[in-house]
Amino acid sequence: MKITRYPTLLALSASLLTLAGCQETLDKEDLTAASEALVFQNESLAFLNLSYIYDQNLTNWFGLTGQGLGNTNPSGLSEEVASESKYFEGTITQNDVTDFGTSLNATNNYGKLRTINTFIRAINQSPIPSQPRNLMKGEAMFFRAWRYFDLVRVYGGVPLVLTPLDGVGEEAREAAKLPRNTTTETYNQIITDLDSAIAYLPGKWPSASWGRITKGAAAAFKARVLLTAASPQFNPSDDVAKWQRAFDASKEAKAILDANGFGLHASYDQLWFQEVNNPEAVLVTGYNNSQGAQNRKNNGYDNSTRPAYTGTSGTSNLPTWDIVQAYPMLDGKKPGESTAYPYSMQLFYKNRDPRFDKTIAYNGCTWPLNGNNNFRLWTYLRGTTSVEPSKPTNTSFYLRKAINPTLAPGDVQFAGTDWIELRYAEVLLNLAESACGANNLNEAYTQLKAIRKRAGILPGTGTMYGLTAGMSRAQMFDAILYERQIELAFEGKRFWDLRRWKLIEQKLNGMDKLRKGLTITLKTTAPANFATIRDNLPLDSLYRNYFTITTNIRDTRYQTLRTGIQWKPEYYFFAIPQSAIDNNPNLIQNNGVWGGAFDPLR
């Protein structure tokens, strides 16, 4: 379902009421203020309102939700991309994280929740037949859970509003001053909504409705939610019962998806380009490149990510040397640990996990672009000048994942590649991690092997795909987080993984962990006609004979501060903005450095 952006909800429905064919009703109603009862008499109009909810709540590329912390590209809050952020300067104040929302605005979290609650109330009272009514209700309940998860992972427990509050009068204002529910209560409500969605929704929609929330999507999201609740951010005592709950949910999600034809796509890189009935796409935001101006919904990602000199706006999402180094070798062992495939910085690209070449574009690689299947990317310096004619990469790398090689230069700005927020691969990784937490390491091994087999890693001795046999629980957790880093690279997951595991300080803080790029420089001894012969020479020979390689710091802002990145422990639960507390004095601030009495771990 390719969702078109709609500016309003009931107001838009009022303009389209003629679709309902209820002439007598139209004669009696004021069409400038369509009532819920009038709109929800008709399934088509009800679905139009549901489409608005989809459009408001489905994430954009990298999982962006459109506000506050959720509007910051999480790749720049991890090792993937070096970008400046106040979150890394250690200067976040109480009023900086605005995901809570305090203004009367349909686009903040509680504004979106009001729209969802209004829809649920109206659909419950609608005369529409029970089957379409329950399907739409299930979809709306999924999105209510989605919104509350977006809040709880940022702040801890928040006020649970499950019906639209009255908006007029002093009495209504006082009634709206709700206290925060505990974090446990918030999580329980999310799960209650998702259980309802699972009960209402189909395992699979017809192809014409591709993209609508399925039973499996609700179950997979439930598993993600419970995995977060079981992680150290919310479970510092390592309560195994929480891991078991996440494990049970993950098993249920996999079983539902398997029964309905979902699974790992045959191709790690091509999975992004199968628009309909894509087995890997569990939760998807639809885009399109329709030539009709009203229906066109471009993702913007492709145009801003590929090299600017190929005819695009570039240059964003540049991979760091840090993430380049992280990829395993072809046998699944980390660089420096493999005996079969020794790692060399000079030939960093050689014998890597096949996901490397499908994610990272590097100097000299063959990267079919603009209809040229033999296009080779060159990012080296001649002296101090890049050979790229415009907006050269400052890390020597480009992000290749989900870049459509078949698009002509004039079509890149209209790329319609869908964003897959939740892939089947993540379902398997969530199952592996929750299984590990529940002390079922055999299950964890099974899922990691499946991921690595699809990736193209060699089976190796004992068909272990590079995994170490007999890992402890702690070692398995590390292996799973490493696999998530590689499999889900640049998909907006790494920052949230580091945050729920409370590992950001360990992985990023300090001068010694500043994110780096690579500088590749053509030797002065290279032949004068190098630019005309390079495309026809073997890559290994080029790197051995003609290039020098050094690293460079890309986190120049944090280098100038002479402190490096400074993520602080209190950022694992941010403060409720003072403006929200001013509006509602019953909101208790988070404890610790934020100065309140609310414990986000309760």
pLDDT tens-digit map of 127-166: 999 999 999 999 999 999 999 999 999 999 999 999 998 7
CA angle, residues 96, 102, 107, in degrees to nearest 5: 95
pLDDT band at 172 (very low <50, low <70, confident <90, very high): confident
pLDDT tens-digit map of 77-90: 999 999 999 999 99
* Helical (H) or strand (E) element with 175: helix 170-175
How is residue 539 written in tokens? Answer: 């890559």
pLDDT tens-digit map of 477-491: 999 999 999 999 999
Q: For position 292, what pLDDT does the model report? A: 59
pTM: 0.93
Residue 329: DSSP 8-state: B
**Which stretch of 243-247, 449-453, 513-517, 579-583 has the lowest confidence by average pLDDT?**
579-583
- Sign of the dihedral through C-alpha 134, 135, 139, 140: negative
The DSSP annotation for 417-478 comes to PPEEEEEHHHHHHHHHHHHHHTT-HHHHHHHHHHHHHHHT---TGGG-TTPPTT--HHHHHH
How is residue 89 written in tokens? Answer: 């300067």
What is the mean pLDDT of the segment spanning 99-119? 87
Nearest C-alpha neighbor of 80 from the set 324, 386, 435, 340: 324
Q: For position 34, what pLDDT does the model report? A: 59
**Rounded distance between C-alpha atoms, residue 191 and residue 199, angstroms:** 12
How is residue 419 written in tokens? Answer: 């964003």
- CA end-to-end span of the chain: 39
What is the mean pLDDT of the segment spanning 532-554? 97
pLDDT band at 435 (very low <50, low <70, confident <90, very high): very high
- Sign of the dihedral through C-alpha 526, 529, 530, 531: positive
pLDDT tens-digit map of 217-259: 999 999 999 999 999 999 999 999 999 999 999 999 999 999 9
Mean pLDDT value across the chain = 91
Q: For position 354, what pLDDT does the model report? A: 98
Q: For position 14, what pLDDT does the model report? A: 34
Q: For position 570, what pLDDT does the model report? A: 97
Share of the chain above pLDDT 70, in %: 93
**Rounded distance between C-alpha atoms, residue 438 and residue 246, angstroms:** 9
Q: For position 31, what pLDDT does the model report? A: 40
